């Protein structure tokens, strides 16, 4: 166990402790601004500043709306695909598993760049197809940009979670499915009343990881905000932390914001786990 705890201390405990230390200080200009900066103890001042910043609070609202759209689409799509692959009528299961999983193998930043190309007018074959059909859509619009981010995330993670659900479905006892068939249950009823309840722990764990990952969303909106007029450089909490640290060079505020973000992620994990345990015991 020693190597694990050593690495855990180096890559998790030490950075968190250093962030907690930085969050208690702020840099101030000394003299008339010609003497450089000095580090001043501010206590909870950085935390108060972050919580009073409308941009920081708005970033969590953006993620909340994102989750309301993304989680049903991604989890629902992954579950339906897994049920289709698990059905007796499915053919070439191995091929479709690999094909649907491939988008997840693409790094997040590369996936965002690919979709940025597909969203750009004059370059996008998607927009050309929509134009030929007499339709129009601005992927970088003020209201449409959120759907563009949801689409990128769903494209990248649906296949991965489909594999997770499919593995859970493979563990459902065949005797249970045969008993449901003998009792007169059809394929759809067996899928949603026998198979899905049998993988409740897997569903809860997937939703938990998805919520935690949503709070840490960075790659797609960071790249899209370069073209989307309504997003801004602090659209998500992680983008706010990045902007505070590397654009405004306010490391105390960035550290405090990051720790507040960690608390929100922990609280979201607790809520999802509690609701999931209640659903599993229902």
Enumerate the domain spans of the chain. Answer: 1-43, 54-281
User: Phi/psi of residue 14, each to 5°?
Assistant: -65, -50
- The secondary element (H helix, E strand) that includes residue 235 is none
CB 233 within 8 A of CB 239: yes
Residue 193 CB neighbour total at 10 angstroms? 12
| 183 phi, psi to nearest 5 deg | -80, 0
Rounded Cα distance between 22 and 168, Å, is 43
Work out the burial of residue 186: count CB atoms within 10 Å of its CB; fewer than 13 is exposed, 13-18 middle, 19 or more buried.
Answer: exposed
Per-residue pLDDT, 64: 93
Q: Which residues of the chain are under the pLDDT cut of 70?
A: 29-36, 88, 279-282
Q: Does domain 54-281 have CATH number 1.10.3720.10?
A: yes
Residue 140: its H or E element? none
Q: Which of 115, 203, 187, 191 is nearest to 153 (CA)?
A: 115
In this predicted structure, what is the pLDDT of residue 88? 67
Cβ(225)–Cβ(232) under 8 Å?
yes
User: Under 8 Å CB-to-CB from 153, ≥6 apart: which residues?
Assistant: 70, 74, 217, 220
DSSP 189-221: HHIIIIIHHHTHHHHHHHHHHHHHHHHT--HHH
- Name the token pair of 205: 């764990």
Tokens representing 227 are: 């073209």
Dist CA 259 CA 114 (whole Å): 32
Nearest of 269, 253, 162 to residue 215 by alpha carbon: 269
pLDDT digits (tens, 9 = 90+) for 66-81: 999 999 999 999 999 9
């Amino acid at each position: 166990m020693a190597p694990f705890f050593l690495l855990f201390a180096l890559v998790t405990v030490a950075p968190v402790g250093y962030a907690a230390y930085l969050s208690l200080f702020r840099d101030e200009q000394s003299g008339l601004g010609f003497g450089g900066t000095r580090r001043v103890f501010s206590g909870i001042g950085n935390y108060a500043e972050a919580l009073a910043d409308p941009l920081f609070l708005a970033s969590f609202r953006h993620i909340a709306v994102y989750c309301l759209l993304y989680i049903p689409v991604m989890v629902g799509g992954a579950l339906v695909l897994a049920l289709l692959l698990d059905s007796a009528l499915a053919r070439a299961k191995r091929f479709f598993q690999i094909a649907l999983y491939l988008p997840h193998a693409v790094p997040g930043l590369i996936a965002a760049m690919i979709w940025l190309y597909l969203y750009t007018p004059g370059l996008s074959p998607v927009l050309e197809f929509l134009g030929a059909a007499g339709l129009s859509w601005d992927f970088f619009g003020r209201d449409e940009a959120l759907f563009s981010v949801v689409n990128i995330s769903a494209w990248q993670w649906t296949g991965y979670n489909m594999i997770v659900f499919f593995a859970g479905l493979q563990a459902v006892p065949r005797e249970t499915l045969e008993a449901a068939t003998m009792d007169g249950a059809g394929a759809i009823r067996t899928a949603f009343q026998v198979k899905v309840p049998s993988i409740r722990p897997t569903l809860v764990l997937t939703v938990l990881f998805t919520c935690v990952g949503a709070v840490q969303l960075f790659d797609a909106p960071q790249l899209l905000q370069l073209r989307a007029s309504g997003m801004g450089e602090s659209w998500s909490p992680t983008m706010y932390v990045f902007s505070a640290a590397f654009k405004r060079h306010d490391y105390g505020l960035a550290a405090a914001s990051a720790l507040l973000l960690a608390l929100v992620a922990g609280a979201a994990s607790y809520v999802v786990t509690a609701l999931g345990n209640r659903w599993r015991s229902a």
